[in-house]
Every structure is written in structure tokens, then in C-alpha cells.
Structure 1
Amino acid sequence: MKGILVQKFGGTSLATAENRKAVIDKIINSINRGYKVVVVVSAMGREGAPYATDTLINLAQNSYEYINPRAKDLLMSCGEIIASVVVGQGLKERGHNYEALTGAQAGIITDDNYGNTRILEVNPQRILETLEANKVPVVTGFQGVSQEGEITTLGRGGSDTTATALGAALHAEMVEIYTDVEGVMTADPNLVPQARVLKHITYEEACELAYQGAKVIHPRAVEIARRERVPIMIRSTFTESPGTVIADTFSQEKQIDIKGDQAVTGVTSRSNVSLVEVKPRQPQKYATALGCFEVLAAANISVDFINVRPEMITFIVNRELAARTEELLAKTEYNYTVSNNLIKVSVVGAGMTGLPGVMAKMVKALKGSEVHIYQTTDSHTTISFLVKRDDEQDALQALHSQFNLAQ
């Protein structure tokens, strides 16, 4: 007897009647294979589609100067609710009873940080009762309820987080994330045509790829799955491609070590960043500039790629926060510059840990493609570079080729 399988379907998978038929086929096929299936849905379509989250946001923001965060979360939660009923009715027409459940009804309890809330706990009792009644729970992704009873949303990619949180709480055999690509790839195929689908990657590699710019799954979702040891499968809704397994080990007939012997798993980039340079008010007294981190932290602005030198402190922020960063630094009279002409390119791989010569190969590859490196940083699984925005594709292709990732 098979156990519980959580299947999450993204907005593009639900955008049209034809796409939704493919979704229903996937769900029923899993039921016929003996799984108890829990379905998680995103809002249908992308911006411009009538029930997409961005469409709902624009409806309010284009009409009113300000909408408070609580009301905005209420509005944003509507798209998934609509999708849960539409998908559920599709199952009903094919002979399978369902129960549409909001995040609150599914037992997802969060903090009260509207717009980017964190899950505090999951009480899956209602879902278990629904499964016991031989119904398919169709759960709204992206949302939960605060301890005070307020509707909250989990931020971009929140439906992935819903799926893995439910998978952990239900002790699911696997969480399947269905999307419009065939899995996690060695690079963005729009920038590196030779990119290929990875069969297996570790939780840590998936997290790093996501944090550094890959958009297939949200890093917070992977962190939950890693903590509770729930395997994730990234698959296409529209093909029978086997997809990518995210796990440190994956059990089929036996335990398979999936770390492999390749140093590098993939390359990715973040182009939505701004470089900030802060100079001390007095030469050689860089401690006077360190206070800028406290100023930004108080405004909930996260910084990355930090480099502290006597003559200057540099870091990057998300591009959408650049204007606010400038405003805060100007207000506190720091000597600073903000530029948007650099991007962050990262190389990720669990096999790099303790392996000599990896950085030398990267520098050689970038130099050979005439890509200038402005700054570097590294961890035990990731090495990142700041390069000119115009060099993004050349840098990714050079690094992808250097480590034979197309093979």
C-alpha cells in the first residue's frame, strides 16, 4: 500500500482548460497507482489572466493609492481559492470526490508578517479526515492563518512552501512540484542553450541554486523538506519526463547516493541586484561606515556579497530595494554610490567542498571569455562573482562549458 503523495501545480499548469485537463490526468494517475493524493494549487495563470495574483494586486494598486497589508493579503488569497474549486470540480467530473480547503482550513498556522509570512506549525487533521473519507483535499497554496485568525500570504513561491510543509506534516512519501519546465537544469536554457535537466541534486544544492537566481523552486520550500527529509520531485505537467529528484538519498529499490563525483552541479545568475559602495566619513576609519548595516537592518533590508575594507564597504541589495537604500543612506549622511551595471553569477556544487583548483578553473574560464571579475565570495558549496551586466551570458556559458555540464 502506497502512502501520501503531495502534488503542487503552478499557475501556468492551471492557466487553460487544456492545461487543467493535464493536471487532472496527473492526479488521477497517481490515485490509480495507489497513492493518497493531496493537491496544492497556485492561482491560475500569470499577470493579465483574470484570477492571477499579479492581476488581483494591480486591480487594487491601479485604483487606489494605498492598500494596507492585511487587506492586500485578503485580496491575494482569492486566486488560489478560485483555483482550488475549479481543479476540484475537474476531479468531480472524472468521478473523484474532493474537498477544497483554504490554508487556514488545512491547518497552516503562520506569524502575522503580512505579505511574507512564515509557517509556525501545521495541523493536518482536517486533511487526514478528508483522505479517510476517500476525498481528494485540494489545498490553496501561498496562504495560511495567523494565530489571531487573520488571512496571511507566504510571499513569492509560497505555494511551493505550502506543499513541502504539508508533505512534512503528513509524512508524505514525496512532494511533486509540477511546472512548465522538465526539472532543475544546469543553467537557464534561455542563456545557455546547452543546459540539461539534472536527474538528482541534494537539498543544499537546490537551496543554493534557488537563492542564487534559479526560479524552479523556492528555497524556503527546500529548507523545510531538507529539515524533515521529504524528497521533492520537480516535473513537467505536460510531458512524461522523469524530472529532478531533490534529496540527499532517494529510496526506490535501494538507497542511492546522489551526490555524485562532479564538482559543479549548475550555474545561475541574479540580475535584479544593485551594488552599494559606502565610504567611511573619515579616511581609514571604516568602522564609521559599519553602522550602515544597522540602518538597513532596521528597515528590514537584507544585504549580500559583503566586502569590508579600510577604504570602502561594498554589498548588494535587491534592485527593488535600491531606492529605499539610497534614501536611508542619504538621510544618515553616509558617503555612498549605488550602481546597477553589475550582476551576480554563481557556481553551485556539493562536490566543490575541499577540492583544490576549482576557483582556478573558474577564473581561467572567465578570463578566456574576456569577462572581468569585480568581486568574489564563496561558501563550501557556492562560488559567486560580480561581473558586468552585459557579460552575463558569456560568463554563464564559459563556466558551464568549463565544467562540462552539458555532458
Structure 2
Amino acid sequence: MRILVQKFGGTSLANPERRAQVAAKVSEAINQGFSPVVVVSAIGRSGDPYATDTLIKMVSSIYSEVPKREMDLLLSCGEIISGSIMVSTLQGLGLEAVLLTGGQAGIITNSSFGDARIVRIEPENILEQLKEGKVVVITGFQGMTENGQITTLGRGGSDTTACSIGVALNAEAIDIYTDVEGIMTADPRIVQDAKILDVITYNDICHLAHQGAKVIHPRAVEIAMQKNIPLRVKCTFSDAPGTLVTNVQPDLAEGSDMIGDRIITGIAHTPNVTQIKIHVQEEENKPKAITKIFKGMALADISVDFISVQPETVLYTVRDELAKKAVNILKNLGFNPESAPGCAKIALVGGGIADVPGVMANMAEALAESGIEILQSADSHTTIWVLVKKEHMVPAVQSLHKKFELGI
């Protein structure tokens, strides 16, 4: 049995015309000899009746501190509604289909409501339905604990569902359908000549996703990578081949991108972050002071990023909405922090960065030519990050895209 996992996001399911296009993709897979497993997100986006954000706002307007367990029960309804509608759509075309919730599909999670992690998948029910010739539609974004509690998997949870199911079933491929035609070198809303990548490595797409690219969730990619299952990011509304995510270089047509030949794969950006700077005084016990800083953030459940620990200074970033809380905690701990709100992090990502001289020099030159000040920088063997003011984010991405000739 050749199993193909197809995941469709909320925009792909938003109206009957789009659902018909989804059904056409499923029918095409069947005609190609696949047994499709279809993973669906909640219909639409914020403001649409059954979208996840709409459901959150519905109860939060009544009481802002809804228990996470009850919130997960509510949010699971969005995918159940879209799954039921998708099954009806497929059956209307003469395709036998069945809907399984996350729990019915055998997705067993821990009990971290709102951001549960998958412990294991018991795929027997899915396989039984596939053997009967049915299209199996699975609600994304959700699972069930050992004792039967419904959980949700956090943002990007439907991607995680699709990749986890794909690994558990040893699928031939996992197709992630969105409203864009693939993974691009930069956000096309910012860079007009952003280019669709034919192929990208698991590692590079993970880094792009972690740094702000929204096409696929990094946790999902990491799961697919466990078995080297080909992951394809495609558009529901076109026949474009999309982007193949893999560690294995396939035979490519003439003119296609080669993974190994690109120094820079793409540029990602994260807006709305605040830089926090703490001067560690000479007389202080510096190791204890540094420990106190980061323990204070952890105990307050504040995620820190872009960390730079220098002999006299500690620098890091937090999301803008958490900055005031972070500063107050630091003051209560006896520190005198400085904060710079309204910043943005820009990331150059590429497996070719390692051991290639001049990448940072070219990055600095491009930003300087555009009059953009670098507030902070860091690098790894696959990524170089810079922090800039938010008003410089768009010109920074544009100038770097041009400097590294990513649109060619």
C-alpha cells in the first residue's frame, strides 16, 4: 500500500470552491495509485466562524483566564467541523471517506494542554480504514492523553499531525498544501523578486521556520526528518510542483536550484522584539548574576532569544508584549536593565555559510549601504542573525536579498 499524507490548511478549506480543489488533489492521488490520508486544519483564518483564533476570542471575551483543558476542548471543535465537511465533500464525489479525530487516529500526547507533545502514535485504526479502501480524513492540531483527555498541539499543530502520521505510517511522501506555491527565498510581500525554491534541505527549512518563515512549522520538519520522508510544500490552487524538502539530492531539471551550490538559501525575519541590555557590575559575582537573570525569565515563563553574554554586559531579546514584564522582574532582582522596543531580527540561512569567508562582510556592507544600523549580531554554521530597528526590517530584507542575488 502506497500511502500519501496530504495536509490542507484553513485557507484551502474556506469555501465550497476551495474544498472542491482539495477534493481534486485527493482524487488525483488516488488515480496515481496512492492511499491518501488527509489532515485538515480549522476552516479559514481569524474572523471566520470556525477559525481557531475566532474560537479563542469567543470565550476570552467572557473570561480571560479560561482553563487550558477547557480551551483545548473548544479548539478541537474547529478541526472536527472542517473534517466533517471535508468527508461530506469527498463522499459527494463518490469517494468513500471516514473522519478520525486525533485520538481516534491513535495520536497519544502528554497532558500539556495548549502545547501538547506527541508521545507515540498507534496507527492501527488508520491502517484498517485504508485497507477497506477509504480516504482517511484526520483532524489536525489535536491528540489525546493516555486517560482520554483531548489536547491540542500548539501553533503549527496540523503540520505536526501530518508529519507524525506520515512517519508512523512510513508514508511515501507528505504533502503540505498552502495558499503559496512553495518555500521562497524571502517573504514575497516584502521582496518582489522572491523566488520559489525547487529543493531545500530539512536543516535549512527548519532554520528558516524557526527564524520567522511561516510556511511550515519547524517541529513538523524535524519529525519528517526522522525517517527521511520527502516533504513537499505545494499550493492547493495550482499545479505548480512546489518545494521538495529532503536530505537526498534528486535528479533536477536543467536550471533548477542545487542544494549544495547555494551559500544562502533564504532570508527570514521576526518583527516586534525588544532588546534588553543588563550591565553586570564589576563587584558582582558575574556567574551568579547571569544565572539569576535567566532563572528570573524562566520562572516567569518568558522565552528569551538572541542571547549574548559579554564580560560586562548581558544582551537578549523578548517579544515586545513581554518586555515590560521582563524589565520589572529584572528590577525586582536588583538589576538596572535598558530596553530597546520595536526591533526586528533578520536571519540569513544557508548550509553553504559554513567555512565561507566574506558572508558577514557582505551582509554588513549591504546594510551599511542602506543606512541600517546593526544593533546586535550572532552566527552559527548555518545562520547569521542581526538585530535592527523594526522600521529598518523591510529595507534590510530587500537589500540582503539583492546583495546575495537570491532573486536570480
Shift of 1:296: 1.4
Letter in 2 for 1:117: A
Letter in 2 for 1:16: N
Aligned to 1:68: 67
Structure 1 residues 58-137: aligned runs within 5 Å:
58-137=57-136
Of residues 268-277 and 192-201 in structure 1, the stretch that sits farther from structure 2 once superposed is 268-277
Shift of 1:152: 0.6
C-alpha distance in structure 2 between counterparts of 1:57 and 1:140, whole Å: 18
Q: What is the TM-score normalised by the length of structure 1?
A: 0.95
Shift of 1:280: 2.6
Q: 1:200-252 deviations in whole A, cap 9, x for unaligned?
A: 00000000000001000000001111122111100000011110001111557
C-alpha distance in structure 1 between counterparts of 2:360 and 2:392, whole Å: 19
Letter in 2 for 1:398: S
Letter in 2 for 1:268: A
Q: What is the TM-score normalised by the length of structure 2?
A: 0.95
Aligned to 2:272: 272
Contact 2:263 2:351 in 1 (8 A): yes
Aligned to 2:175: 176
C-alpha distance in structure 2 between counterparts of 1:199 and 1:391, whole Å: 29
Q: Secondary structure at the match of 2:259?
A: coil
C-alpha distance in structure 2 between counterparts of 1:316 and 1:8, whole Å: 33
Contact 2:274 2:343 in 1 (8 A): yes
Aligned to 2:349: 348
Of residues 73-82 and 59-68 in structure 1, the stretch that sits farther from structure 2 once superposed is 59-68
Contact 2:197 2:257 in 1 (8 A): no
Q: 1:142-193 deviations in whole A, cap 9, x for unaligned?
A: 0101123211111111100000000100101111000001110000011111
Aligned to 1:28: 27
Aligned to 2:316: 315
Contact 1:249 1:258 in 2 (8 A): no
Q: Calculate the aligned-residue CA RMSD, in Å.
A: 1.8
Letter in 2 for 1:351: G
Contact 1:118 1:154 in 2 (8 A): yes
Aligned to 1:363: 364
C-alpha distance in structure 2 between counterparts of 1:283 and 1:314, whole Å: 19
C-alpha distance in structure 2 between counterparts of 1:252 and 1:29, whole Å: 23
Shift of 1:319: 2.9
Shift of 1:122: 0.9
Shift of 1:329: 2.2
Aligned to 2:18: 19
Letter in 1 for 2:287: A
Shift of 1:294: 1.2
Letter in 1 for 2:402: S
Of residues 272-281 and 155-164 in structure 1, the stretch that sits farther from structure 2 once superposed is 272-281
Letter in 1 for 2:271: S
Letter in 1 for 2:347: S
Letter in 2 for 1:173: E
Shift of 1:340: 1.5
Tell me the number of residue pairs that the alignment of Structure 1 and Structure 2 aligns: 405
Letter in 2 for 1:211: H
Q: Percent identity?
A: 47
Judging changes above 3 Å, is the alpha-carbon distance between structure 1 residues 323 and 99 closer, same or farther for their aligned structure 2 residues? farther
Aligned to 2:336: 335
Contact 2:199 2:257 in 1 (8 A): no
Contact 2:272 2:343 in 1 (8 A): no
Where does structure 1 lack aligned partners over 5 or more consecutive residues? none
Q: Secondary structure at the match of 1:340?
A: strand
C-alpha distance in structure 1 between counterparts of 2:401 and 2:219, whole Å: 26
Contact 2:266 2:350 in 1 (8 A): yes
Contact 1:282 1:288 in 2 (8 A): no
Q: 1:309-348 deviations in whole A, cap 9, x for unaligned?
A: 2332110123343343234323323221332132100100
C-alpha distance in structure 2 between counterparts of 1:184 and 1:195, whole Å: 10
Letter in 1 for 2:223: I
Q: Secondary structure at the match of 1:195?
A: coil
Q: Secondary structure at the match of 1:385?
A: strand
Contact 1:284 1:310 in 2 (8 A): no
Contact 2:233 2:243 in 1 (8 A): yes
Q: 1:26-51 deviations in whole A, cap 9, x for unaligned?
A: 11111111101000000000111111
Of residues 280-289 and 113-122 in structure 1, the stretch that sits farther from structure 2 once superposed is 280-289
Structure 1 residues 120-159: aligned runs within 5 Å:
120-159=119-158
Q: 1:34-91 deviations in whole A, cap 9, x for unaligned?
A: 1010000000001111111111111100112421010011111100001111001100
Aligned to 1:388: 389
Aligned to 2:165: 166
Aligned to 1:326: 327
Q: Secondary structure at the match of 2:226?
A: helix
Contact 1:276 1:338 in 2 (8 A): yes
Aligned to 2:378: 377
Q: 1:111-158 deviations in whole A, cap 9, x for unaligned?
A: 111111111111111100010011111000001011232111111111
Letter in 2 for 1:273: V
Of residues 286-295 and 122-131 in structure 1, the stretch that sits farther from structure 2 once superposed is 286-295
Q: Secondary structure at the match of 1:228?
A: coil
C-alpha distance in structure 2 between counterparts of 1:347 and 1:186, whole Å: 10
C-alpha distance in structure 2 between counterparts of 1:332 and 1:260, whole Å: 48
Where does structure 2 lack aligned partners over 5 or more consecutive residues? none
Of residues 372-381 and 287-296 in structure 1, the stretch that sits farther from structure 2 once superposed is 287-296
C-alpha distance in structure 1 between counterparts of 2:165 and 2:361, whole Å: 43
C-alpha distance in structure 2 between counterparts of 1:186 and 1:339, whole Å: 29
